[in-house]
Structure 1
Amino acid sequence: MLVIGLTGGIGSGKTTVSNMFRELGIEVIDADEIARCISENNPDIKSKIKKYFGAVALDDDGNLDRKYLRNAVFDNEEKRIWLEKLLHPLVINKIKEKIKKVESDYCVVSVPLLFESGSESLFDRILVVDLPEMMQLQRAMTRDKSDKKSIEKIAKSQINRKERLSMADDIIDNSGKIDSLKKKVTKYNNLYLDLCKSRTG
């Protein structure tokens, strides 16, 4: 099974690219979705988060207050590292389980902090969605209805653009229009299908 790691900075368009791969019949595993599921549905994990961050980490219904947690971890590196260490091993195990069940020719695993979490060894190739940093900030501010300062804090927790690009096997430039992006995703889909054939052939 060919496994593609998909990553990129905040606001780069990872979700859009993931959805385009899905439209082409490729299974996409979303690490953020898995982390959300684990933190919400695992009572032990939720309890540890509450103990560490305090009752403010939960909303009135007893669910995790994601907005509070996001602000808390990006304001404090120690808290961010603690939360990542708690969730990362569980997320990786779940990703491995899901990869085993994939039925498409190859699969894409979307991991926002792929390089930062040291997850490179899970993947056969790494595809980075890229944009100029100013465009990233503008798109993320519009999407999250957030201010520039908050988005910049999140961006600072990620490796810089130059480093990310230097570690990529494949790069999609998402600074253009949606039709252009679709063509690029289709190009990489064809490449990955060819790689699958060469492996089995």
Structure 2
Amino acid sequence: MKKITNWVLGLTGGIGAGKTAVSNMLEQLNISVVDADIVAREVVLPKTAGLAAIVARFSSTILNADGTLNRSKLRAKVFAEPTEKQWLNNLLHPLIRERLLMQLNQASSPYVVLVAPLLFENDLAQYCQRTLLVDVPVEVQIARTIQRDKVTKQQAEQIIAAQMSRQDKLTKADDIINNNRPLAEVANDLQQLHQQYLALAAQ
């Protein structure tokens, strides 16, 4: 395991839980945020080794006209064929992990936040000193996902079913913040946690 020199808070939550709202609040407190979803997009940008390997595997028909990756075409290919999904994960996970660790080490704030929907599933919690779960009831997740992503109720339920269960996440997380209430109350609780993290990081 590559050594991380900074104190890392892992921030996670199921789809529609409101991880972005919480990570934005931490950014406003001048804390650096490294987002696994953004890094996952960066490793397949044009001229990257990741995109070159995908094109070598699936041909240039996997690209948009501007040379960027056509994500929906790739998704269709890997969901239809489990071996292709495995190949893609084997390619991308090491690239994403390496870039995540580099960005976590480069952060200069008192502590750094690693935002990852699959923090526990992809074993990223091993790089964190503490983990914070943004939690809402499943029915709230479904409603928010339908509204935000314009998907059906069934699609939202399938996405949630594919993630680690809410109960398992609640068991694994060190800290939990309830995001099913006014944001001002969330911000208030987060401010208290922030003070704790500052103290822990300074030790």
TM-score band, normalised by the shorter chain? Answer: 0.7 to 0.9
Which of 31, 38, 41 is equivalent to 2:43? 38
SS at match of 1:40: coil
Q: Root-mean-square deviation (CA), in Å?
A: 2.1
- Which residue of structure 1 lines up, in the alignment, with residue 154 of structure 2? 149
- Which residue of structure 2 lines up, in the alignment, with residue 104 of structure 1? 109
Work out whether residues 15 and 145 of structure 2, in 8 Å CA contact, stay in contact via their aligned partners in 1.
yes
**Partner Cα separation in structure 1 for residue 76 and residue 156 of structure 2:** 10
1:88–1:171 CA distance, 2 compared to 1 (3 A): same
Work out whether residues 74 and 154 of structure 1, in 8 Å CA contact, stay in contact via their aligned partners in 2.
no
1:142–1:126 CA distance, 2 compared to 1 (3 A): same
Equivalences for residues 11-160 of structure 1 within 5 A: 11-53=16-58, 57-70=62-75, 78-160=83-165
- Normalised by the size of structure 2, how large is the TM-score? 0.87
SS at match of 2:43: helix
Which of 6, 9, 12 is equivalent to 1:7? 12
1:131–1:80 CA distance, 2 compared to 1 (3 A): farther
Q: Alignment identity in percent?
A: 37
SS at match of 1:187: helix
1:102–1:40 CA distance, 2 compared to 1 (3 A): same
Work out whether residues 58 and 64 of structure 1, in 8 Å CA contact, stay in contact via their aligned partners in 2.
yes
**Partner Cα separation in structure 2 for residue 81 and residue 188 of structure 1:** 38
**Partner Cα separation in structure 2 for residue 75 and residue 172 of structure 1:** 37
Matched, 1:169 2:174: yes
Task: Name which of structure 1's ranges 114-123 and 53-62 shifts more when overlaid on structure 2.
Answer: 53-62
After superposition, give the CA deviation of every residue in 1:101-131 in whole Å (9 maximum; x if it has no partner).
Answer: 2111101010111111112211111111111
Task: Name which of structure 1's ranges 67-76 and 42-51 shifts more when overlaid on structure 2.
Answer: 67-76
**Partner Cα separation in structure 2 for residue 131 and residue 82 of structure 1:** 34
**Partner Cα separation in structure 1 for residue 76 and residue 157 of structure 2:** 12
Work out whether residues 18 and 110 of structure 1, in 8 Å CA contact, stay in contact via their aligned partners in 2.
yes
1:159–1:78 CA distance, 2 compared to 1 (3 A): farther
- Normalised by the size of structure 1, how large is the TM-score? 0.88
After superposition, give the CA deviation of every residue in 1:42-90 in whole Å (9 maximum; x if it has no partner).
Answer: 4432133245456553223231123444565567655444333221111
Task: Name which of structure 1's ranges 167-176 and 83-92 shifts more when overlaid on structure 2.
Answer: 83-92
**Partner Cα separation in structure 2 for residue 6 and residue 20 of structure 1:** 12
Structure 1 stretches of 5 or more lacking a match?
A: none
